Amino acid sequence: MKLIVIKFHFVTIIIESREQINMLKGILTKIKQGLKTFKPSEEKIARFILDNPDRAIGLSITDLANFSGTSEASVVRFCKTLDLKGYKDLKLSISYDLSTSSDKEGIIHEKIKIGDKPNDILAKISAGSMQAIEDTKEVLSLDNLEKAIDKISESKRIYIFGIGASAIVGLDLQYKFMRINIPTFAFLDSDMQLTSATNMEEGDVAIGISTSGRTKDVIEALKEGKKRGATTIAITQYGQSPILEFSDIDLFIAYVENTFRSGAMASRIAQLNLIDTIFMGVAAKRHNQVFESLKDTREIVEDKKY
């Protein structure tokens, strides 16, 4: 790609590769999404940056520590939590976000309130879903997405674990893979999920779907799959959570806070958008086989219509 130079206030950012863009982009979204999972000192730093992003990029590491009421060591740990190499990358990432924010269309998303009329609810639900998708694009690692697609494409069998609404998302992914002839197992019952995990072996892929990253049954199934030699993939909200301990590849989605569980609805939309992306990525890698499989499954379903 061509060399890109971005100047913002007194900071000059020189971008030489797609990898560098992936590293720099979406840092403010990541900080906002991970806020509740940070350690207390890291949360102080995060809140100061979110409240004063323009000011933060001009501060030394000592100044940021002082203004946030923490220490330089806490700032360094905060950078590591965000998968950044150091404080310089944090300032560059914030600068990049601020310099590109004017090019993005803002999504106005409000909380649903008692007394809202149907047209208001429709507008707010739609805005929440769009925000979840856009924020997911910011927190999702494209490198990890590519790794997940490669592993699934090369796998012998796929096992999908999820509880409640996440299980429904898993069934949708199972159906998609079934249509292109990839052996895939997904069960609504948690005991059956854990039992199926004991059958996994090297060459298989286990996908655990948990918005919170704290669903015990999903974590236990993923842990069992990892123990058996399978490649494990976690689809979960951005931030630190127990499921990551047993995940080889982390695929983060964004969470939209709201009332009446509409935040969970928006997260489900983000999950569905992500699994559609995974499916299309795998289908593209298996294009010769996929064409015939999709043709056959389409024809047999069409035969059942009047």
Tokens 């323009």 appear where? 54
Task: Let me know if residue 128 belongs to a domain.
Answer: no
| DSSP β-bridge partners for residue 210 | 236
pLDDT digits (tens, 9 = 90+) for 269-284: 999 999 999 999 999 9
CA 220 – CA 57 distance, rounded (Å): 42
Within this chain, do residues 146 and 291 fall inside the same structural domain, yes or no? yes
Helix axes 40-51, 72-81, angle to 10 degrees: 80
Return the structure tokens found at 7. 């100047």
Are 230 and 283 part of one and the same domain? yes
Q: Which amino acid is at 233?
A: I
Same domain, 190 and 265: yes
What is the span of the domain harbouring residue 177? 138-300
Q: Are residues 160 and 289 in the same domain?
A: yes
Phi then psi dihedrals of residue 11, to 5 deg: -110, 130
Say how far apart CA 213 and CA 166 lie, in whole Å.
11
pLDDT tens for 195-221 read 999 999 999 999 999 999 999 999 999
In this structure, the answer to whether residues 44 and 183 fall within a common structural domain is: no
The alpha-helical segments, DSSP class H, found in the chain are 18-24, 27-33, 40-51, 53-56, 61-67, 72-81, 87-101, 118-139, 142-154, 165-179, 190-197, 216-227, 262-285, 287-302
How far, in Å, CA of 280 to CA of 205, rounded?
17
pTM over 0.85: no
pLDDT at 2: 47
43 and 148 within one domain: no
**Does one domain contain both 95 and 150?**
no
Residues 68 and 148 in one domain: no
Same domain, 152 and 207: yes
Mean pLDDT confidence for 68-72: 97
**Is 145 in the same domain as 247?**
yes
The Cα–Cα gap between 158 and 232 comes to: 10
Judge whether residue 106 has pLDDT over 70. Answer: no
- How many structural domains does the chain have? 2
Per residue in 153-162, pLDDT (tens digit) is 999 999 999 9
